[in-house]
Amino acid sequence: MKIIVCVKHVPATDARIKLGADGKSIDETGINFIINPYDEFAIEEALLIKEKLGGEIMIVTLGESSAIESIRKGLAMGADKAVHLVCENVALADPWAVANRLAEEIREHDSDLILCGKNSADAQNQQVGSLVAAMLEKPVVTSVVEIEAEENTVTVWREIESGKEVYELSLPALLTVNKTEHEPRYASLRGIMMAKKKPVETKDVSIENGAIVVEEMSLPKAKEPCKIVGTDADSSGDLANLLHNEAKVI
C-alpha cells in the first residue's frame, strides 16, 4: 500500500496571534509552529494501515523552509520519505492555488491512498483535500473518524449529527481525516535519529494567484468584562434591573 499524507506546518493552537505590519498576515515572531493536528491523525492512520498491509508512506508538504520541522517529525513518527515543496509566500495563498500545486506533485507519484487532515488549524477553510481529490479525479470522503483498509478497497466512517455514515471506496482514493480514536504516537528517540537519514526531496516552487485575495486581517474585539451581581436570590432584583436598563435584553 502506497500512501501519501499531505502535511501542513501551522502555528501552535495555543499561540498568541499578532498581526503583521502589512495587516494581511500574522507576525510569526516568537510563535511555535507544529504539524497541523488533524494531519497528525492522518499520519497515525497511515501508520496503522502500513502496519497491517505493509507498504510505504510519503509526506508531501507545501510550505516555507521552516516546514522541514514538521516533515522531520512526521518521518520520526514512522513515515518513510517526504517531498518538501518550498514556497515562501504560501501563507496568503488561497485553497484552490494550494490544492492545485499539491495535486500537481501527487500526480508524479504512484499512490493507493491519499490522506489529509480535515482542515488546517490556521485557515480552517476545510477545502484543500476535496479540491485535490477533484483535480486528481479520485473518490473522496471527508471528516473520516475510522478507516478499515484492504488491498483494493477502503471502508470509512464519518460522523454526522444523527450518527455515522459508512462508505466503501475502491482505491485509489482520498480521505480527509478528523480526530479518530487513535491518538497520534510520540516519536521515539530511535525514530528521531532515523528520521535524519530518511530522504526528503526539496523543490523550490511558486504558487499561482488564486481567486481569493486577502485584503485585510483583524483580531476579534475583546470581550466586555463580566459583572457579578450578588451570590444569592436576594440579588435577583438587581439582576433584573441591569438586564432591563443596562443590557436592554428584557
Grid coordinates of 238: 438587581
* Alpha carbon separation from 113 to 14, 38, 123, 203, 243 (Å, rounded): 32, 17, 24, 23, 56
- How many angstroms separate the CA atoms of 129 and 60, rounded? 13
Contact present, 204 and 64 (Cβ < 8 Å):
no
Q: CATH assignment of 2-204?
A: 3.40.50.620
Helix/strand number for the chain, H first, E second: 6, 11
Q: What are phi and psi of 39, to 5 degrees?
A: -70, -30
The 10s digit of each residue's pLDDT in 195-241 is 999 999 999 998 877 777 788 888 888 777 777 787 777 778 888 88
Chain centroid to CA 18: 21
Q: Which pTM value belongs to this model?
A: 0.85
The 10s digit of each residue's pLDDT in 23-67 is 888 888 888 999 999 999 999 999 999 999 999 999 999 999 999
Q: What is the sign of the dihedral through the CA atoms of 77, 83, 89 and 90?
A: negative
Residue 17 is predicted with a pLDDT of 82
